[in-house]
Amino acid sequence: MSSKLTIFTLKDIRDMPESRVVIILNDQVYDVTDYLVCHPGGREVLLENNRKDATEAFSAIGHSDRAEEILKEYKIGSLAEKERSGGPPLQSNALSSSPEPLKRVMHIKNKLVTEEDPYFFHKIFGLIVLLHMAIRFIVLGLDAGEVIIQRDIIGFNSDNVFSDGTKLFFAFCHGILSVSSFIFAVPKHSSQNKPMIHQMFRGHSVCFASRAVLCMVVDVLVQSPELKRFLISCIVLSCLIAADQITKYLATEDDRYKTTNSMPYWRGCSVEREHLHKTFYAFAQFLASIICLFGSYTTIFFTLPAIQGAALLMTLTRKNIITSHSYHQIYTFLLFYPIPLFLVLWPAKTIFAIILSGVLYYLRSRNINKYLLWIPVLIMANMIELTPENYPNGLIIGAAIFLLTLYIVKSNAKIIETERIDGNNRVVSHKQITPDAYELIIRTQTPIKLEIGQHVLIQINDSLNRKYTPIWTKYLPETDQTLLCLRIKEYKSTERLTASSYLARCGEGSVLALHGPYGNKFYCPKNDAIIDKINKCQYNLEDYQVYLFSAGSGITPIYQLAKNICKPGQKRGDSKNGGEKGDGKEKGREKGKKNEKLTLITCDQKHENQMMKDELTQLKEDFPNELDWLCFLSREGKNSPDIPATIFKERLTPGKLMNIVKCDSPSLIIICGPDKWQEMIQQTINLIDFDLDKPPPKCKVLAW
């Protein structure tokens, strides 16, 4: 953001371009357009408060200190004095004199208490459910202990602790807990940044929790074994259909592949560890359905802690009470912790369920239609009641049905689903290109179309994100994804984590939270013009002498512009994606243009530190007459690098700048680099233009 903040009136805010999302907090004005997709509460919350004073809503939610730090990046100005509300400052000092433990308690309380549940309805049922889970686990452990030591421990077991009425009461509480989640406003979109409850996840959670609750109720109330098996089979089948419909109507293009097993993983998690977790999660889904089909009230109940606990864990993670690492470890524990006790109490039946779940998981991983898998299992569940005496019959019937299934699969290829693609923004290549720079090639979750000069945003955590301009992109039609190539210059800090340091250590296989496209300024090859959507301007390059200035990592958008400006009107492959990798030599700017020469000025410490040195050399060789390259190297040694550029072993100073930019003809100066460096160029150009004293100004500066 610029260091100069503007004073806005309410009319100024209303008249801003419709594409911008602007909110007012405590008389300060924030442009949060780029934060829409990253907002933990969902983009809808910000859109509801667009062009409004959101101070009251912001305070009511009880945001953390980190949220207030994030806001500072998006501040663009203040409200005019005459229109201020005189509200309190953003950070309240009400607890400043309180003891530190009280501060921590109040901080956690503000995170957990929400205005949607003022009477703690959802939380009361949550506590009842947690109590039930604890009692069930203790009693199940006592049952297993009695089996192991062959004697009563304290006289308590599942039969005498839980009556039918008690079972129905607790089943009712579990059902109410899931349904009451609809009182909360959750975002429509999911977030790759960290575990996030969104509408599709909530729908699936309620669906699978309802399956378990209904099966538990049927197990208690229905006495006929045949009717019980039929009703439970109908419930399981209905759940499969309902889950598909929820995905169909609530999934969006951005999260169509997102499920619990694709939640983001902690920093440093290896690809093998991530794959292991995902395998466990997928297997557990099959095991839960098998337990509902062939289990009893007690075993069916133990599918609920993971389903209902996942939502609680996500909430705690989003509010920074636990980490993503803790989320995955606890969630994995909730999925499998009763299995050892099941093996003690019902060994044969548990082994049968595990084997059957493993077979289903394997066949599903081979992309066989899930209904073709589950219908034979449902038929088997209705044909016989599984007891230790007839397990062999069950296995024989099941095997026969699966053989028939495989025969149908072979005879009808249409039921084989298309290969599932990786639903993450994944780093597919990572290499060091200079002592302090890295190249990352990322395969995006969904296709991203970038205009030339636009950028993407990578979210590291709630308070850290960074924008990067790809140096090339490539569309992958076979998977409907995009490859992005980013060049990252690492800026280290001993005080805090930087985005570049994080990305420098992301190995192949790492998953990133990547969003885009962003950027309101871009180059349009068709018109040979720079488009500025914010100010609704179009700068036709044939009317200007064009100068491109870059410093450090600012070379990435400048290189994109230089490469494409040198060859307007040419077919560059995927022009909307900023040009594809492998662009060859193409003829330069058309003759007869008013201004044919493009001047590129790059500023670095040493030639070896230039992230794009090879690409710039190739560009100059491809367009020797169209491109004039001036290279400033502030710390270069005695030997000059062998590059096709005019080399200056010094910093770019105002004096040098005046020699380069004459402003004796209309000039368009595009700059990208550190803020102070950009300010120096802007001030120097203003001075040159002022000296000419020929209004209107002939030099236009665009900060990229």
- Stretch 672-684: mean pLDDT, rounded? 89
**582 within domain boundaries:** no
CB 574 within 8 A of CB 627: no
Q: Which carries the bigger pLDDT value, residue 249 or residue 463?
A: 249
Residues 493 and 395 in one domain: no
Provide the CATH number for the domain around residue 30. Answer: 3.10.120.10
Residues 510 and 605 in one domain: no
CB 429 within 8 A of CB 439: yes
Residue type, 268: G
CB 291 within 8 A of CB 186: no
Provide the CATH number for the domain around residue 551. Answer: 3.40.50.80
Residues 501 and 534 in one domain: no
Residues 74 and 213 in one domain: no
**94 within domain boundaries:** no
- Distance separating alpha carbons of residues 258 and 192, to the nearest angstrom: 9
Residues 556 and 699 in one domain: yes
Task: Decide if pLDDT at 335 tops 90.
Answer: yes
For 204-263, the pLDDT digits (tens) are 999 999 999 999 999 999 999 889 999 999 999 999 999 989 888 776 544 434 555 446
Q: Are strands 545-551 and 537-540 parallel, antiparallel or unpaired?
A: unpaired
Q: Rounded mean pLDDT of the chain?
A: 79
Domain count, the chain: 4
Q: To 5 degrees, how large is the angle CA 633–CA 638–CA 642? A: 65
Provide the CATH number for the domain around residue 504. Answer: 2.40.30.10
Please give the model's pTM, rounded to 2 decimal places.
Answer: 0.55
Task: Decide if pLDDT at 494 tops 60.
Answer: yes
Give pLDDT, residue 400: 67
**100 within domain boundaries:** no
- Distance separating alpha carbons of residues 353 and 600, to the nearest angstrom: 68
Name the least confident of 126-140, 328-342, 564-578, 649-663: 564-578
Give the Cβ contact number of residue 67 at 10 Å: 17
- Stretch 261-266: mean pLDDT, rounded? 60
**93 within domain boundaries:** no
Closest CA to 570 of 561, 579, 557: 579
Task: Count the alpha carbons within 13 Å of 497 in the hemisphere toward its beta carbon.
Answer: 14
| The two structure tokens encoding residue 461 | 């955590």
Residues 368 and 452 in one domain: no
Task: Decide if pLDDT at 397 tops 80.
Answer: no
Residues 508 and 552 in one domain: no
**395 within domain boundaries:** yes
3-state class (DSSP) for residue 484: strand
Q: Which carries the bigger pLDDT value, residue 614 or residue 40?
A: 614
**92 within domain boundaries:** no
**129 within domain boundaries:** yes
Structural domain including 337 reads 121-405
Q: Where a domain ends, among 52, 79, 106?
A: 79
Paired strand residues for 547: 599, 669
Residues 240 and 353 in one domain: yes
- Distance separating alpha carbons of residues 522 and 252, to the nearest angstrom: 27
- Stretch 194-208: mean pLDDT, rounded? 81
Name the DSSP letter for residue 640. P
Task: Decide if pLDDT at 395 tops 80.
Answer: no
| The two structure tokens encoding residue 151 | 């004697």
Residues 499 and 561 in one domain: no
Task: Decide if pLDDT at 588 tops 70.
Answer: no
Q: Where a domain ends, among 353, 372, 405?
A: 405
Q: Where a domain ends, among 16, 46, 79?
A: 79
Task: Decide if pLDDT at 489 tops 60.
Answer: yes
Give pLDDT, residue 133: 92
3-state class (DSSP) for residue 536: coil
Residues 515 and 533 in one domain: no
- Stretch 656-675: mean pLDDT, rounded? 87
Residues 29 and 125 in one domain: no
Q: What percent of the chain has pLDDT over 70?
A: 74
For 77-131, the pLDDT digits (tens) are 888 877 776 544 444 444 444 555 665 565 555 555 566 677 788 889 999 999 9
Residues 542 and 557 in one domain: yes
Closest CA to 206 of 169, 245, 160: 245
For 5-39, the pLDDT digits (tens) are 578 888 888 877 776 788 888 888 888 876 665 55
**580 within domain boundaries:** no
